[in-house]
């Protein structure tokens, strides 16, 4: 199966993933509660998930995705397991 790694905003009552292919860590991401970032191949998607006006930004760039992977690895290493 496809392995999914995620860093979620920590909050009281946070629960771990239900899928065995999913690994989640938690960090204090204050101010980013409505933002989700997904990347695969050379595509980066940034979601701003508000009820009033949801928005998505799509960027196709190997260089930007590579930089985001490096940032994710940094954040992953700083985040905590629950």
- What does the pLDDT look like over 12-40, one tens digit per residue? 566 666 778 888 888 887 776 678 888 88
Higher-pLDDT residue of 77, 19: 77
The pTM (predicted TM-score) of the whole model is: 0.74
State residue 20's pLDDT score: 80
Measured from the Cβ of residue 79, the count of other Cβ atoms closer than 10 Å reads: 19
pLDDT higher than 90, residue 61: yes
- Arithmetic mean of pLDDT, 51-63: 92
Pairing of strands 43-48, 35-40: antiparallel
- Cα distances from 31 to residues 2, 28, 35, 47, 60, in angstroms, run 29, 9, 9, 14, 25
Mean pLDDT across the chain:
84
CA nearest to 58, candidates 69, 67, 46: 46
């Amino acid at each position: 199966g496809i392995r999914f790694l995620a860093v979620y905003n920590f909050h009281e009552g946070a629960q771990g993933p239900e899928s065995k292919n999913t690994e989640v860590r938690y960090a204090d991401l204050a101010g980013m509660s409505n933002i989700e970032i997904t990347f695969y191949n050379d595509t980066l998607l940034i979601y701003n998930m508000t009820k009033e006006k949801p928005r998505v930004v799509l960027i196709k760039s190997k260089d930007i995705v590579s930089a985001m992977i490096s940032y994710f690895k940094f954040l992953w290493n700083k985040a905590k397991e629950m």
